[in-house]
Amino acid sequence: MDFKQHIRVIEDFPQPGISFKDITTLLGNGDVYRSAIEALREMVKDKKIDVICGPEARGFVIGAPLAYALGVGFVPIRKSGKLPYKSIEAKYDLEYGKDVLAIHSDAIRPGQNVLIADDLLATGGTIATCMNLVKQLGGNIVGAAFLIELTELNGRGKIAGTDIISLVSY
């Protein structure tokens, strides 16, 4: 399936010069959404995944159904202050500032094989931070899966050495 035809591109959003890839059109079509998750499942099914982690919020709409399709658990990685139990945090740089991501301290058991899943690989900062949190808990990163990869931003460079799977590249 050509998933690109189901992703709306909005020029100059959220600022001039940005070509925003809007996945809400893909998510809103049940058949296409299911096909995208199934395609990702096929691409990662042999990775011996114990659990999938996804960053807030769009990582949830990719990671959770992918975990369900694989029959494994899903661990949300959230913004600071959003998790109810003891957690660890990591700061990371955004285009215009800094942010903090957190994961429950007992979410990953040492030695578990973890796949990181998100909607988009851009600069790689968010995913590198997720990987850092998983590694702090003793998890083994087996790969990262995305609906979209923006190749010119070289997010792969920030997470070099990671097996990266993406359905669509721009």
> What per-residue confidence (pLDDT) applies to 93?
82
What domains appear along the chain, each with residue ranges and CATH number? 47-169 (3.40.50.2020)
Prediction pTM value: 0.94
> What per-residue confidence (pLDDT) applies to 97?
74
> What per-residue confidence (pLDDT) applies to 95?
66
pLDDT tens digit sequence for 78-107? 999 999 999 999 998 876 678 999 999 999
* d(C-alpha 14, C-alpha 74), whole Å: 30
Q: What is the mean pLDDT of residues 21-33?
A: 98
**Catalytically active residues, by annotation:** 58, 95
Q: What is the mean pLDDT of the chain?
A: 96
> What per-residue confidence (pLDDT) applies to 16?
94
In a 10 Å sphere around its CB, with 0-12 CB exposed, 13-18 middle and 19+ buried, how is residue 58 labelled? Answer: middle
pLDDT tens digit sequence for 38-87? 999 999 999 999 999 999 999 999 999 999 999 999 999 999 999 999 99
